């Protein structure tokens, strides 16, 4: 099993935030260090997903601009409504 070496890093936070972290850590029976690591990990995970979504949207836009293939809004809405109802239906055919 490979263990990644943890390296210390310092961050500066104001005294009010520091006290809030300490109170929450005490309430959770964790250390402030654990709480801050968990918060950073969750933030990075969420922001990586958000960035991947943004990149997918940019790629979809570029693909659309290159080939002008699209589904009419009314057909897309009808398809999504079917999916929402639990029906497994094929997506509408794209056209130029």
How does 2-11 read in b/e, with b if 16+ C-beta sit within 10 Å? eeeeeeeeee
Answer whether residue 51 is part of any domain.
yes
Coil, strand or helix: which one is 40?
helix
| Residue at 44 is within a domain | yes
The answer as to whether 76 is a domain residue is no
What pLDDT is attached to residue 4? 82
Residue 26 lies in a domain: yes
Mean pLDDT of each 10-residue bin along the chain, 96 residues long? 81 97 98 96 98 97 90 93 93 86
pLDDT at 46: 98
pLDDT of residue 1: 59
19 domain residue, yes or no: yes
CA 2 to chain centroid: 27
Domain count, the chain: 1
pLDDT of residue 34: 96
Inside any domain, residue 31: yes
Residue 74 domain-assigned (yes or no): no
Domain residues for the domain of 28 are: 15-68
Residue 13, token pair as written in the block: 């936070």
The pTM assigned to this predicted structure is: 0.70
Q: Is there a domain that residue 39 lies in?
A: yes
């Amino acid at each position: 099993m490979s263990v990644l070496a943890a390296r210390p890093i310092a961050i500066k936070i104001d005294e009010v935030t520091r006290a809030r972290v300490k109170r929450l850590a005490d309430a959770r029976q964790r250390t402030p260090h654990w709480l801050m690591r968990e918060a950073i990990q969750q933030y990075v995970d969420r922001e990586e997903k958000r960035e991947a979504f943004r990149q997918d949207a940019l790629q979809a836009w570029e693909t659309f601009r290159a080939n002008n293939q699209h589904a009419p809004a009314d057909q897309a809405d009808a398809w999504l409504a079917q999916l929402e109802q639990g029906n497994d239906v094929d997506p509408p055919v794209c056209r130029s």
